[in-house]
Structure 1
Amino acid sequence: MKKIAFLGLGHMGAPMARQLLTAGHPLTVWNRTAEKAEPLVDAGAVLATGPAEAVRDADVVITMLAGPDAVRAVADAVVPELRAGMYWVEMSTVGPDVVRELGARLPDGVTLVDAPVMGSTDKAASGELGILAGGDADGIAQVLACFGPVTRTGPLGSGAALKLVVNTAVIGGVALVAEAMKLADALGLDEETARGALAKGPLGGAVGRAFATDVHFGSDLAVKDVALATASAQLPAMEAVLAHYEAAAADPDVVHEDIARAVAHIRRRTT
């Protein structure tokens, strides 16, 4: 079994790391807040004091971090420790430009794979995430399969690119449902009646996500993802969506809560 270093034990990273333990992989973990690693250590993982220590003896390095700045900071620590034959699997949502930037920093013989995920915390816990793998992932196919079914997307960076497309559709769809419900509120319609009608239409999936209660994807992360998308192409509708989520993320009671909380914020928003 491959020795794996898993860096980033947030809402998604912790259950994903547990899937690797369940599969029997020797696992070293690191998280900026060390206390979050305690359940995994109790289950058999080794806790490293820093990213460099975590990756030193690994065959595979997996990063699941909040965004580009966090990935770059970890790269500063781990790149000097990487050696030929290792894999770095970048599973955060950072966009293809950051993936290519990382690839240019790696020593010869180190293989970078971008493999962001589709699905939320419930899918991470059950090992049913969708993995969007860009680059040469042949040598780590069994590792990726621990998290769920794998879709090969093409060359390095294509997984990160497709993840932006998917997240843009989901986040935008949730915002559209919120605005539709805001219109229903203004017209005096019964909440359940309006939700039920929307759920039966083409936005049914977005309706389910807009009112989900058992998953987690923070409004701050939605801001990050939509900002990456709107920096990559001219997307006027998503610029408006970004303003919605930026307003929600400015509320300290909403910023780190699931985007379902942002739906209520959008419905109340007056400016």
Structure 2
Amino acid sequence: MEKIAFLGLGHMGAAMARRLLAAGFPLTVWNRTAEKAEPLVAEGATLAASPAEAVRDADVVITMLANPVALDAVAGAIAPELRRGTTWVEMSTVGPDVVKELAARLGQGVTFVDAPVAGSTDKAAAGQLGILAGGEVTGVGHVLVHLGTVTRTGPVGSGAALKLVVNTAVLGGVALVAESMALADKLGIEESVARAALASGPLGGAVGRAFAEDVHFATALAAKDVALATKVAELPVLDAVLDHFKRAAADPAVADADIAMAVEHIRRSA
């Protein structure tokens, strides 16, 4: 089986890497905070001391990093090490411009796929992510199938572009639910009654995500994702959504917590 290097073991990355390890792929992992790799090493993964070391013998490289800055730092280290025949699958949420620039930096014979994911930690652990794949995915389809369902979106950059569309819809809906609940609070409507009424309407999916438990999508990362979208187009509603998430992320107790905590922050601040 192909040797896989997986770089970035946050809440999502660790769950995804574990799926590949369970499928039997030889797996080398790297994370800026090495301690986060320890559970995977205990399960059979090999820990690399650096991104460059992780990818040298890899057939497939997967990156799942927090933001464009983190990705740029890792890309600078691994791009010179990728050998002909390697496929780099970039699964972070960083926007289409970033992934197109990365693809342009690679040497001949290296295949680049941008494949950000829809779904949170529960879907990652279950192998049920929605994978939005731009570029030529044929050579890694048998790897990605262990992570979820692949939707081919077009050329490199199109997966990253569609991910912005999907995330802004989700996060916009969650922020609207938070404001609606704030209004219910002000009007003295019992929380369970307001939630049930909203859940039975068009915002039902957003209501479920706004109050989800045992999943993790960090509020600070939500603010980052909405900011990526508002840089592309004039989006007044999402500017307001961004302000909500930025204010919530400024609270240290909320920044790394799931966006359900941001909902509570928005309600308290209204």
Same fold per TM (> 0.5)? yes
Matched residue, 2:32: 32
Secondary structure, counterpart of 2:58 in structure 1: coil
Task: Compute the displacement of 1:214 (Å).
Answer: 1.1
Cα deviation for residue 269 of structure 1 reads 1.2
SS in 2 for 1:149: strand
Distance (Å, rounded) in 2 between the aligned partners of 1:142 and 1:96:
24
Partner AA of 2:38 in structure 1:
E
**Superimposed CA distance per residue, residues 109-130 of structure 1 (whole angstroms, 9 cap, x where no aligned partner):** 1010000111100011111111
Deviation at residue 237 of structure 1 after TM alignment: 0.1
Question: Does 2:227 correspond to 1:227?
Answer: yes
Whole-angstrom distance in 1 between the partners of 2:39 and 2:218: 22
Give the corresponding residue for 1:52.
52
Counterpart for residue 198 of structure 2: 198
Partner of 2:77: 77
Residue 173 of structure 2: aligned partner: 173
Q: Which residue of 2 aligns with 1:264?
A: 264
Amino acid at match of 2:168: T
Alignment deviations for residues 16-46 of structure 1 (CA, whole Å, 9 cap, x no partner) = 0011111111000000111111111111100
CA distance in 2, matches of 1:256, 1:113: 28
Rounded Cα–Cα distance in structure 2 between residues aligned with 1:86 and 1:70: 21
Question: What is the Cα deviation at residue 135 of structure 1?
Answer: 0.3
Paired with 2:253 and 2:17, the residues of 1 have a C-alpha distance of 28
Partner amino acid, structure 2, of 1:182: A
Query: What are the superposed Cα offsets for residues 204-257 of structure 1, whole Å, 9 maximum, x if unpaired?
Result: 000000001110001100110000000011100000000000100010110110
Percent identity between matched residues is 73
| Number of aligned positions between the proteins | 270
Find the counterpart in structure 2 of residue 122 from structure 1.
122
Counterpart amino acid of residue 121 in structure 1: T
The yes-or-no answer on 1:64 pairing with 2:54 is: no
- 1:35 is aligned with what amino acid? E
Match of 1:216 in 2: 216
Give the SS at the match of 2:255: coil
Secondary structure at the aligned position of 2:10 is classed as coil
Residue identity in the other structure for 1:47: L
- Structure 2 length-normalised TM: 0.99
Q: Which runs of 4+ in 1 moved over 4 A?
A: none
Report what 1:139 is aligned to. Answer: 139
CA distance in 1, matches of 2:248, 2:266: 7
Partner SS, residue 148 of structure 2? coil
Letter in 2 for 1:232: V
SS at match of 1:253: helix
Q: Residue 254 of structure 1 corresponds to which residue in structure 2?
A: 254
What SS class does the counterpart of residue 253 from structure 2 fall into?
coil
